[in-house]
Amino acid sequence: MRYSSPALVDHLAASYALGTLTQRARRRFERLLRDRVDVQLALAQWEQRLGGLAQSVPSRTAPPRVWAAIEARTRPSAPQRQAAGPASWLRPAGWGLGGVLAGAALALATLLSAPTLFISADQVAMSAGERLPQSYVGLLTDAQGNGKLLVSSLRHGKTMTVKVIGPIAPPEAGRLVLWAVPAQGPAFVLGEVPANGSAVSQLPDTSEKLLSRVTRLLVTQETAASPAAPGTPVYSGNCAKLW
């Protein structure tokens, strides 16, 4: 399998973010994720897109009858499986014509309202002659050079994704804060750093306006509610323009 293909990396990153990879494929992807920045960036971009969608929908707990119905449709009893016709495997369990039409209508409505869920930013960029979407990216390391954080934001986007890519020791007090350091002028806060996983946060303006003159990113441990200046860096890295 050619993991050098941008289209394949994008497909795997999307499937990983959605949780649809098999266990074996998921382990292979996680091995790639540890070593390749392009894979980390692709995953961060998918988590940024899907994270914004998830945050816009209020969480709900499914009632027990829903799980019972799913169990009945996906794991029928042995007599039911034996009684099924030879072509029954072609038909989704519990779906009649009405269910198929409803599913098609839902897919069409979702495509019209959120086309970027089906057409990735990478694909849009590649169709315009670019290899990857224009983004600001930072790979932050500790003093020993070990990768700890991947920070990314689309050039004209207003959200930022911070992904933990290496083990991080939680601060004894306070919190970990991400700073942007311009070539000239004072450093300013971009947001807080998650203890693990990834986090998507809103920016006060587009990345282009906030980060166009930023050369470095820092993470410091802060106890003040609104720190005026960064303390001693815990992690640091360059802020790069991906275009």
199 vs 58 pLDDT, higher one: 199
Check if the beta carbon of residue 215 is closer than 8 Å to that of residue 172.
no
Amino acid at 156: H
Spatial CB neighbours of 173, under 8 Å, sequence gap ≥ 6 = 221, 223
Q: With respect to CATH, is domain 135-242 assigned 2.60.40?
A: yes
Domain ranges of the chain: 6-56, 135-242
Q: Which of 46-55, 133-142, 148-157, 182-191 has the lowest mean pLDDT?
A: 46-55
What would the mean pLDDT of 109-134 be, rounded to a whole number? 48
H/E run at residue 32: helix 23-35
CA distance 38 to 78: 46
Residue 41's pLDDT band, with cuts at 50, 70 and 90, is confident
| pLDDT for res 79 | 57
Q: 3-class DSSP state for residue 208? A: helix
Of the CA atoms within 13 Å of residue 226, those in its CB half-sphere come to 0
Convert 65-99 to b/e letters by CB count within 10 Å (16 or more is b). Answer: eeeeeeeeeeebeeeeeeeeeeeeeeeeeeeeeee
CA dihedral 110, 111, 117, 118 (to 10 degrees): 140
CA distances from 164 to 43, 156, 173, 180, 191 (A): 12, 23, 19, 18, 14
Q: What is the pTM for the complete model shown? A: 0.51
pLDDT band at 125 (very low <50, low <70, confident <90, very high): very low
DSSP readout, 80-99? Answer: HHHHS-TTGGGS-TT--HHH
Tell me the pLDDT tens digit for each residue of 203-219. Answer: 999 999 999 999 999 99
**Cα 234 to Cα 241: distance, rounded to the nearest angstrom:** 23
The whole-number pLDDT of residue 89 equals 40
Sequence-ordered list of residues with C-beta below 8 angstroms from that of 76, at least 6 positions apart, any chain: 84, 93
